[in-house]
Chain A
Amino acid sequence: MLEIFTQIANGVAYTLLGLDPQTSFGVAVHFFVKSTTTIFTLLVVMIYVIALIRASLNVERVRAFLAGRNRVVGYFFGSTFGAMTPFCSCSSVPVFIGFTSARIPIGVTMAFLITSPMINEVAVVVLWGLLGWQFTLIYILVGFAVGMLAGAFLDAIQAQRYLQPFLAEAYAKGQAPEGDVTQRESMTLKDRHLFARTETLDILGRVWKWVFIGVGLGALLYGFVPDGWVESHLGGGQWWQVPAAVLLGIPLYTNITGVVPVMESLILQGLPIGTTMAFCMSTVAASFPEFVLLKQVMQWRLLLMVFLILLVAFTLAGWILNLAGPLFTLNL
């Protein structure tokens, strides 16, 4: 189904523009056209469809659902909910506050918060479109594992002690999750369509520039870094490359849409899958703007802990995947 984008790129780069597929420039332009058309088409279709379904998802109901669960089940559903919600941390923080003040265990809330930026419909769409379903599945599994294990650890050390005082107090009081603010009446198909349209435009408005930046970088890497360079310098999977990739990813602030085309390019050039994944997750999940927002609800100590947990988790995941890497064949 996605071959059509390769054909479009052939048409634009080689026929219309008359570029030579043997040249770096030709290859880069081809990569750029193919990736941008794939991503934008998938984004529009999938965000719209998922938003239609998600239109009636109501955070108050989710909170009531989570409040009654035991912890292990809770970590799983916390992560699941994180995966289902879109990726703006300015909407994660109010949910974080709402969960905490309803006395949902801190670990469950953290599983939600950590999984949320890593997994969402946009991530799945872009990964699937560019890197295939196997990579997407591995990515989702790793994202869930990181979120749930981090949640379990933070519960074990009673991390609620390190929330900001106003929130720790609200957690201790544990007001019952009632007082549903706006009764949302059941939605008609037209309402759902309007919601989905707004959502699609909104998300596109936020990510389009990342797509161009990411694909542009990916195209440059793909076209101009000499064949074999990445493979011979970084392809060996030496142990220190994974933590190095994680550290490199921290100051780079982008969202998943921007980083996947770069990953595609790196994998095509022979960078091991675990190193690539570690870099991607670190870029997406551990960013400074995100941490500035979280500072409003957490003390430095907890923030630092979350940060370190993420770095360790991404490094471990990268190592494991590099070891298991030869088992996967990616259908690129």
Chain B
Amino acid sequence: MKDIKVLGIGCARCTDTADLIQRTINEMGAQAHVAKDTRPEALVEHNVMSTPAVVIDGKVVHSGSMPKADQVRSWLSD
């Protein structure tokens, strides 16, 4: 079960990113859980400066833009 977090202080693209990941999880039937983390502290913890950022099991895999659909699929299928 992958634990996926989308970091960002309530920007529109962060919501879109979380939605995209949730949709992809549903499509693939992947074992994963996605949630938004809007705490500013989270950005310090993960040393992230551009949002939205995607964190999977504690590791930052992407930051600064909305990920593309096939990127999301490759994270989920690892």
Contact = CB atoms under 8 A, between A and B. Distances in A.
A63 B12 CA distance: 25
A223 B11 CA distance: 38
B40 A59 contact: no
Nearest to A99: B49
Contacts of B11: 88, 90-91
Contacts of B61: 182
Contact of A296 (B40, B62, B63): B40
Interface stretch (A164-172, A211-219, A242-250): A164-172
A96 to B, nearest CB: 9
B71 to A, nearest CB: 11
A175 B41 CA distance: 14
Given A94-B8, A293-B9, A296-B9, A181 B48 contact: yes
Interface string B1-35: 00000001111100000000000000000000000
B44 A170 contact: yes
A98 B9 contact: no
Contacts of B50: 59, 91, 94-95
Interface string A80-94: 000000001011011
Given A181-B60, A182-B63, A94 B47 contact: no
Contact of B43 (A98, A182, A198): A98
A9 interface: no
A297 to B, nearest CB: 6
Contacts of A297: 40
A101 B41 CA distance: 11
A94 B10 contact: no
User: Looking at B46, B47, B49, B62, which has the most chain A CB atoms within 10 Å of its CB?
Assistant: B49
A121 to B, nearest CB: 18
B10 to A, nearest CB: 6
B2 to A, nearest CB: 18
A204 interface: no
A182 B12 CA distance: 21
Contacts of A181: 46-48, 53, 60, 63
A178 to B, nearest CB: 8
Interface string A292-317: 01001100000000000000000000
> Which interface class (under 10, 10 to 19, 20 to 34, 35 or more) fits A?
20 to 34
Nearest to A90: B11
Given A88-B11, A166-B40, A293-B9, A94 B60 contact: no
Given A166-B44, A181-B60, A296-B40, A98 B8 contact: no
Contact of B9 (A63, A90, A101, A198): A90
Interface string B38-60: 00110110111111010000001
Contacts of A88: 11
Interface in A88-115: 88, 90-91, 93-95, 97-98, 101
Interface in A162-192: 164, 166-167, 170, 175, 179, 181-182
A290 interface: no
Given A182-B62, A293-B9, A93 B49 contact: no
A60 interface: yes
A101 B44 contact: yes
Contact of A91 (B41, B44, B51, B62): B51
Contacts of B53: 181
Contact of B40 (A60, A167, A179): A167
A91 B13 CA distance: 10
A97 B12 CA distance: 19
Given A90-B9, A90-B10, A59 B47 contact: no
Interface of B: 8-12, 40-41, 43-44, 46-51, 53, 60-65
Top-6 shortest CB links A-B: A98-B49, A90-B11, A181-B60, A59-B49, A296-B40, A166-B41
